[in-house]
Chain A
Amino acid sequence: MSKIKLTSIAIKVNGVVREAQVEPRTTLVDFLRDTLFLTGTHIGCEHGVCGACSVLVDGDPVRSCCMFAVQADGLSVTTVEGLAPERGKLSAIQDAFCEKHAMQCGYCTPGMLIACHALVERNPHPDEAAIREAISGNLCRCTGYQQIVDAVKHATGAKSGAHD
């Protein structure tokens, strides 16, 4: 087996401190998916463009494919599994995504939700331009973004688009 030295890390993931030994080259997304089995965070490009791997690190949206797990040592990470206020409930954004059909295949959805949560945290009443800007680093091939924008408007009380 590999002779690569393992490093100890402790990351607070969705509110719980998780300790592990990882290879320094393990990306945060691989750690979340393969070690913690938090497979809600997806991988689309592994070069920082698609945003499918987005998680919140100390509250900021970050591409977990472009960060090593060791770099998250001591930090707090929120994945899509940690967005709901409690088990069986949905956050307002998650609920609006369902209501407005803001997804199709669901593959970009965890990253989109992370981006939208980060947005409303900073700006509780974003206009359309702010919403589009906030999700502009997250690629979705299914929706053309329209119903995602509608969902965020819906969740934040703004008037939404053509098919209400």
Chain B
Amino acid sequence: MTEPRKFRYIGRHRRAVEHRRFVVGKGRYAADIQLQGLLHVAIVASPHAHAKIISIDTAAALAMPGVHAVLTGEELNVNTEAMLPGVDAPQVKRYPLAHGVARYSGEWVVAIVAESRALAEDAAELVEVEYEPLPHIVDPEQALQADAPLVHAANGSNVIFQRVFNWGEVDAHFAAAPHKLSYRARWARSSTVPIETFAVSAWSNDATGILDVWASIQMPKFPDQLARALRMPGNAVRVHFDVDVGGSYGVKRGLKHAVLVGYLARKTGRPVRFIEDRLENMRGGDMQGPDRIFDVTLAFDGRGIIRSMRMRAVDDVGAYAGRSPLQLGKPVGAIIGPYRIASVQYEAISVMTNKTPQEAVRGFGQAPTNYAIETGIDKVARYLNMDRIELRLRNLIGKDEFPYLIPSGTTYDSGDYATVLGKALDAAPLAEIEKERDALRARGQLAGIGISTCLEPSGGNSAFEPLFNPKNQTTTWMDSCLIRIDLNESITALMGTSTSGQAHETLVSTVVGEVLDREPDSIRVLHADSLNALPSNSPVGSRMAIMLGGAAAGAAKKLRAKLMRIAAHNLGLPESELVYQDGNIAAKTEPAKRLTWGQLVEIAHRKIHQMPKGDEPGLQEKFVLEVPTGGKLPTADGRVQMYPCHSFETHLVLASLDPQTCKVTVHRYVCGHDCGVMISPDVVHGMTYGGIAHGLGAALMEKFAFSDDGQLLSGTFMDYLLPSSMEVPSISIVDHCTPSPLTEFGQKGSGEAGYLGGPAAIASAINDALAPVGASIDALPMTPYALWHALARAEKNSS
């Protein structure tokens, strides 16, 4: 496919279906679910970074009127299965409540169930826990030392995953390269921090044996894992996906929350609910993000052509691990960014510390890696005294080089990076931004222009699982859709996962409307529950436009084909002589010879005597889509096709900092974006704006800071700062479309757009601003305090 196809509904402005309920306060979030006799949970958390639990006295709490249960790890852990990490580290066991040892400050130790949350909190204050503090470790590099205190003694080391990959002739390329440049880049622990905290309710019906669960989740295989942890059959846990999720961007996993609440619901025989308060979310919700130290060396020639890269990434996953170590695996699929780098050595190290555990964050580890690569590209330009844009243009993979196989085994599907970059520069336009920068400098501000060119791998496969864990042979990461046309002629589509703001109902109705040529607003899209859903791997990895969109198209095409067969049979004509329009089917040459949508539907539902032989009665089709290019295990040297599609984004930023206060202002922001065919442009733009805002937070403001004692210092919105409408500038997005040859409509993913290149571009602008005074900074977030230090360092060095 070279030119984008023409569509009737795809790619057009239309109102999202979901908005109609949100603007009138009729969304249905997990905390809104009303259950009769609902009980509420409060948590007693460890105040220590690492401590032995000597004793727990729950008597006073239990005796309080209105308290139904007080649960400790001693009871819970023998009655549930441990939640295991995504890598092969069976000794790193996690349960919802600590038992014996608490490994981070904020870890849950006791759960109280009472008639109201307020009562549960009153009772929590009566629980007495005696601790004996143990040596703790908060610094990831110190945690790697042989004599470091161990977070999990049984694991024998704080390292939970480590592997060196060599892809291509790294040594030879380094030996032949005239220039090498080494640097360190630091990505701080931040996260997506949705405005809705995690909420879960569960109700166990003794008669049916079914545990019903409503949770604000975005998690692949959540129902299966929950059932396994609770030691229940898969068909006894019913997770309701028709819950609106108040933002996630990766982190809303909440397995431990659901195991706890599910257990308590079964124990008490009553519906039970837990809603994190903000501190519980920030400190004990296990939803902090990647926390990385990159040591990188680039090998290049005098023209700035980068031949090879050595990258060592140490990621601090905190005290326990679910899928977090795999966040070093996903970037393997775009380890050279959009550049023609011929060989790579990559060392990935996941280390545990006595901090809140890390969870999946928008991009699944790609944004930090992109930041590390882009930092190096700017450094090479500065080293060679070359323009940063020119250097990029020399290294960007050319539009005619696709499909492009990268050293680590992934093939990039398509792209036109230089054109997108050019379009963004023209839209800015660059000359005007340079003028503005000069004007700011003339006014005494430190002003700079930032640039980044980055990839967003999309279509979410799970190839990093077998890559990082040989015992895991997962090679499929399917998604599905079921579509029915009822006797009254309307269309209903069913998806098997929940939505956290990506407008999937709009996506599916648009796609089904396109294929069946019916008005999308007449199509109902529902979220199934896990017992009647087809398999889904949830909206992770920028996958739903590709995977859910693809599955919906697949099912709709089956229905369309069936309608054609019915028409051919009844009109006595071959299908090749029929045309399908608006759901009606007529003879090409004789339009009066036709069957309407209603007639076709009626035949299928009522008149088996008019159905073609071999066709089932009724109109219902399912489609389970395997990830395009998926299905293979990694090679022995760790090469694998990661995600199928690759969106591209370039960011151009004008920023300044006040030399006195070091406050940063972003004056201009342009983003060139190519995610192939956009099914819903408003949705894509929205996610891109939001991703940029999130990236601005990660670059300048957000950090889960810990004291040396392992105490979280930023557990509220007064010290963990989210960008507001005053910090986020007005943004212009410049679209470009290079269709993917691998997908139904040429679409690629975009759920992580903006965040994947934003932090790198803002950092680039700051360093451009600092360069004239000889200062630089390679650590996020670039807070006023950090920038003040960078300036002070430069001043000291020059004097």
Interface residues of A in 18-71 (CB under 8 A from B): 23, 25-26, 33, 37-47, 49-50, 52
Interfacial chain A residues near B244, Cβ < 8 Å: 105-106
Of A84, A101, A107, the residue contacting B19 (CB under 8 A) is: A101
* Minimal Cβ-Cβ distance residue in A for B122: A2
Q: How large is the interface on A (under 10, 10 to 19, 20 to 34, 35 or more residues)?
A: 35 or more
Interfacial chain A residues near B730, Cβ < 8 Å: 128, 146, 149, 161
> Is A81 touching B501 in the complex (CB atoms < 8 A)?
no
> Is B693 touching A107 in the complex (CB atoms < 8 A)?
no
The contact string, 1 if C-beta is below 8 Å from chain B, for chain A 104-136, is: 111111100100000000000000100111011
> Is B195 touching A107 in the complex (CB atoms < 8 A)?
yes
Is A159 part of the binding interface, using a Cβ–Cβ cutoff of 8 Å?
Answer: no
Interfacial chain A residues near B612, Cβ < 8 Å: none
Beyond A104-B247, A105-B244, is A145–B25 a contact (Cβ under 8 Å)?
no
Is A142 part of the binding interface, using a Cβ–Cβ cutoff of 8 Å?
Answer: yes
Candidate in B20, B27, B248 with the most chain A CB atoms within 10 angstroms: B27
> Is B19 touching A40 in the complex (CB atoms < 8 A)?
no
A139, B689: Cα distance in complex, Å: 14
* Minimal Cβ-Cβ distance residue in A for B18: A106
Beyond A46-B278, A163-B681, is A141–B247 a contact (Cβ under 8 Å)?
yes
**What is the minimal beta-carbon distance from B218 to any residue of chain A, in angstroms?**
10
**What is the minimal beta-carbon distance from B704 to any residue of chain A, in angstroms?**
16
Is B207 part of the binding interface, using a Cβ–Cβ cutoff of 8 Å?
Answer: no
> Is A40 touching B25 in the complex (CB atoms < 8 A)?
yes
Main secondary structure of the interface of B (DSSP, over half): loop
Is B183 part of the binding interface, using a Cβ–Cβ cutoff of 8 Å?
Answer: no
A109, B16: Cα distance in complex, Å: 14
Beyond A47-B716, A162-B733, is A141–B195 a contact (Cβ under 8 Å)?
yes
Interfacial chain B residues near A103, Cβ < 8 Å: 19, 22-23, 501
> Is B693 touching A39 in the complex (CB atoms < 8 A)?
no
> Is A39 touching B31 in the complex (CB atoms < 8 A)?
yes
A39, B196: Cα distance in complex, Å: 13
Interface stretch of the complex, out of B134-142, B592-600, B718-726 = B718-726
Interface residues of B in 679-698 (CB under 8 A from A): 681-683, 685-687, 689-694
* Minimal Cβ-Cβ distance residue in B for A105: B501
A25, B116: Cα distance in complex, Å: 13
Interfacial chain B residues near A113, Cβ < 8 Å: 23
> Is B685 touching A104 in the complex (CB atoms < 8 A)?
no
Candidate in B32, B275, B754 with the most chain A CB atoms within 10 angstroms: B32
Is B580 part of the binding interface, using a Cβ–Cβ cutoff of 8 Å?
Answer: no
Interface residues of B in 80-129 (CB under 8 A from A): 115-116, 118-119, 122
> Is B25 touching A81 in the complex (CB atoms < 8 A)?
yes
> Is A1 touching B65 in the complex (CB atoms < 8 A)?
yes
Is B526 part of the binding interface, using a Cβ–Cβ cutoff of 8 Å?
Answer: no
> Is B685 touching A45 in the complex (CB atoms < 8 A)?
no
Is A77 part of the binding interface, using a Cβ–Cβ cutoff of 8 Å?
Answer: no
Is B29 part of the binding interface, using a Cβ–Cβ cutoff of 8 Å?
Answer: yes
A131, B728: Cα distance in complex, Å: 13
Interface residues of A in 68-108 (CB under 8 A from B): 79-81, 83-84, 90, 94, 97-101, 103-108
Of A42, A83, A109, A144, the residue contacting B731 (CB under 8 A) is: A144
> Is B732 touching A162 in the complex (CB atoms < 8 A)?
yes
Is B608 part of the binding interface, using a Cβ–Cβ cutoff of 8 Å?
Answer: no
> Is B25 touching A41 in the complex (CB atoms < 8 A)?
yes
> Is B16 touching A144 in the complex (CB atoms < 8 A)?
no
Is B288 part of the binding interface, using a Cβ–Cβ cutoff of 8 Å?
Answer: no
Interface residues of B in 703-719 (CB under 8 A from A): 716-718
A128, B682: Cα distance in complex, Å: 20
**What is the minimal beta-carbon distance from A82 to any residue of chain B, in angstroms?**
9
Is A11 part of the binding interface, using a Cβ–Cβ cutoff of 8 Å?
Answer: no
> Is A90 touching B196 in the complex (CB atoms < 8 A)?
no
Interface residues of B in 741-789 (CB under 8 A from A): 754
Beyond A42-B29, A49-B716, is A105–B500 a contact (Cβ under 8 Å)?
yes
Of B65, B245, B249, B717, the residue contacting A139 (CB under 8 A) is: B717
Candidate in A2, A25, A101, A103 with the most chain B CB atoms within 10 angstroms: A101
Beyond A47-B278, A47-B716, A141-B249, is A97–B728 a contact (Cβ under 8 Å)?
no
Interfacial chain B residues near A79, Cβ < 8 Å: 25
> Is A105 touching B694 in the complex (CB atoms < 8 A)?
no
Is A143 part of the binding interface, using a Cβ–Cβ cutoff of 8 Å?
Answer: yes
A137, B26: Cα distance in complex, Å: 23
Beyond A42-B29, A80-B24, A144-B689, is A105–B118 a contact (Cβ under 8 Å)?
no
> Is A49 touching B718 in the complex (CB atoms < 8 A)?
yes
A79, B24: Cα distance in complex, Å: 10
* Minimal Cβ-Cβ distance residue in A for B32: A39
Interfacial chain A residues near B21, Cβ < 8 Å: 106
Of B197, B682, B724, the residue contacting A101 (CB under 8 A) is: B682
Measured CB to CB, the residues of A under 8 A from B are: 1-2, 23, 25-26, 33, 37-47, 49-50, 52, 79-81, 83-84, 90, 94, 97-101, 103-110, 113, 128, 131-133, 135-149, 161-163
Those 3 A-B pairs whose CB atoms lie nearest each other, nearest first: A40-B25, A106-B22, A107-B246
Query: Known contacts A138-B725, A163-B682; can you find 20 more A-B pairs with CB under 8 A?
Result: A2-B65, A43-B275, A79-B25, A94-B23, A105-B195, A105-B245, A106-B18, A106-B244, A139-B722, A140-B195, A140-B690, A141-B192, A141-B193, A142-B247, A142-B687, A143-B690, A146-B689, A147-B682, A147-B689, A162-B733
Q: List 28 A-B contacts (CB under 8 A).
A: A1-B66, A37-B34, A40-B25, A42-B196, A42-B246, A44-B196, A44-B197, A45-B278, A79-B25, A80-B25, A97-B19, A101-B16, A101-B683, A105-B195, A105-B196, A106-B18, A109-B23, A131-B725, A132-B725, A137-B724, A141-B193, A142-B690, A145-B693, A145-B728, A146-B728, A147-B685, A149-B730, A161-B732
